[in-house]
Each structure stands twice: as structure tokens, then as C-alpha cells.
Amino acid sequence: MQKVQIKKTDLLVSSLCMGGCPLGGYGWGDTVRQDLIDAVRTALDNGVNFFDTADTYGLGESERTLAEALGSDSSKAVITTKFGVRIENGKTFYDNSREYIFQAVEGSLKRLKRDCIDLYQVHYRDGKTPLSDVAESLERLKEQGKIRYYGLSNIHKEDEEELKQFTVNPFVSFQDEYSLACRKNESDMFTFRDSYEMTPFTWGSLGQGILSGKYDKNCKFDSNDRRSREIYVNFHGEKLLKNLEIVEVLKEIAIETGKSVSSVAIRWILDYLQDSVVIVGAKSPKQVLQNAEALSFSLTNEQIERLNKISKE
């Protein structure tokens, strides 16, 4: 199993991280709870020891499902969860205040059935709380033994000025959307990795599933699946057609390597954005195994270049 040492930590994690958004049972079409639990077990049994979730996924249901699935094997897993997205009275907003951080961590610890969270991440910046204040609150949680390390999610170039203010950057990781279907954040990913000694995590690594090879130009989703909404551009209009061109190249390489289409898409990230962790959600053990194939091979330079060429935005 290919692993990555998260920078500035003693956390050795699988390069493939199981994303917990589908575990919330909301927004990804029909799900079967037992399949979700079995997916987690399959991941753990096949060397995936890293699990990403958030308190807002299914309004806490993802954390509860993950805890149930891991059971007595929880100590074998490295868990990262996120805070900062609040949903109250039907409204969604961001909150990085000290009061809310302290409140949020207690909820996550309870749902995860843990005394300590391995990696606690700011899900989204709230646009008003200085990053230095956020770090101060998270340091207090470290001192209290409630978290071990902390990181950032969904950060971009405009956040760099605040990071420059730290003599030593206390954030050990960052995550953002990145895939063959979404390369707009590529420059930022390399900058934060190389200049701020942070380990990159990628979400949306399969473009919400379009890069799995399962869909065509006539794909439709029920109203209980977020991908039915046009804001999920990977499945609509010209973007969908462009993505399907990428999928055709992925299929060619999948035949050449004898691997699944999704594993080739994941492998491209691991080979191109080195020292990264790829986060991929799964709703069944079958999907977990297809994704895990990515850790058993590498792409050639020629295959990487073909994918680079077809996916450039």
C-alpha cells in the first residue's frame, strides 16, 4: 500500500483516502447503509487507513456511520474531519469563531466515538475570522488533547498573505478540488505544497464520478442527487462533453494497464501531484476496490502527457 507521511506530523497514511461525504446518506442518490458500512470495512481491509469526513456531511451522519463501521478497529484508522460549515434554520453559513470551533469539536468527538481527532481541518474560511485567531483556537485544542494536528480546506491564492504572517506555518495540510476534470486550482496546489510545507489532499478527484467511466452524454440524475443541479458543471453542457473526451483517453489507458478507469484517473493525480493524498468517496465495496487499484501501478510519462494534453483547461 502506497503511503504518505503528512508533513510536520507522525501520521503515515495511505495515498488513497476514503471520502466520507456519501456516508452522510444525502445528496448522492440512493444509498444503502449496510453498503456504506461494508465500503469502509473493505477500505480498511485493503490497506486504506485514512478517512476524511466533516460534521456537515449528512448533518453528522457521516461521522456516525464511519464510527459504526470502524467499530473496535477505530485505532487502526487515521481520521480527519472538518468544521466551519453551519446549517441553521435552513440556512448555510460559515463560522470559524473560537466559540464555534470549541462547540464543533465536541460534537465530532462524540459522533466519532473518539477522545482525539487525528487531523482537524477548517472546511471553509468564514471571511472575517483572522487565520491567526483560528490557529490560536486550534492550538488550544491540541493542548487539551482533543486534536493532534490541524489543516485547511478550500484555500486559494488570496489566503497566502495570511500564511506568510506565521513565522512557522502551523497548518500541516490543505485540500482543494483537483482532478483531470478540474485543474483550475493546480497552480495553488503546487504553491502551497512547495512553499508552505503542507501536504496536499485532493477532493472531487473523480470529478464527482464523471471520470469513473460510468456515464455518457445522456446521463440523468434523480432530484436526490446533487449532480442533477447545473452547479455541478461536470455533468452538464459543454463541460460534460469535454469530460467525456477525457474519459475516452482514460479508457484507452485502462486497457493498456489492465486497470479500472477510475484508478487511472486517481493514478494521474498521484504521479503528477507527487506527495499528495487523493480523497475519493465510495458507496459500495466494489467502488472501493476499483479505486484502490490506483495504488498498484504507475503511469508512464507518455500516458501522463496524453492525459495532460486532453485535460488542459
- What confidence tens digit (pLDDT) does each residue in 255-312 have? 999 999 999 999 999 999 999 999 999 989 999 999 999 999 999 999 999 999 999 8
Q: What is the pLDDT of residue 313?
A: 64
pLDDT digits (tens, 9 = 90+) for 130-170: 999 999 999 999 999 999 999 999 998 888 999 999 999 99
CATH topology for the 3-208+273-285 domain: TIM Barrel (3.20.20)
**Residues linked to residue 279 through DSSP beta bridges, in sequence order:** 17
Average pLDDT taken over every residue of the chain: 94
57 is catalytic: yes
* Positive/negative CA dihedral, 156, 171, 180, 55: negative
Candidates 26, 57, 94, 196; catalytic one: 57
Cα distances (angstroms) measured from residue 254 to each of 83, 95, 203? 37, 43, 22
* Positive/negative CA dihedral, 141, 143, 146, 150: positive
Q: Cell triple for residue 283? A: 458507496
pLDDT digits (tens, 9 = 90+) for 203-229: 999 998 899 988 888 888 887 888 888
Predicted model pTM: 0.93
From the list 280, 208, 266, 235, the residue with the least C-alpha distance to 27 is 208
* Positive/negative CA dihedral, 94, 97, 99, 101: positive
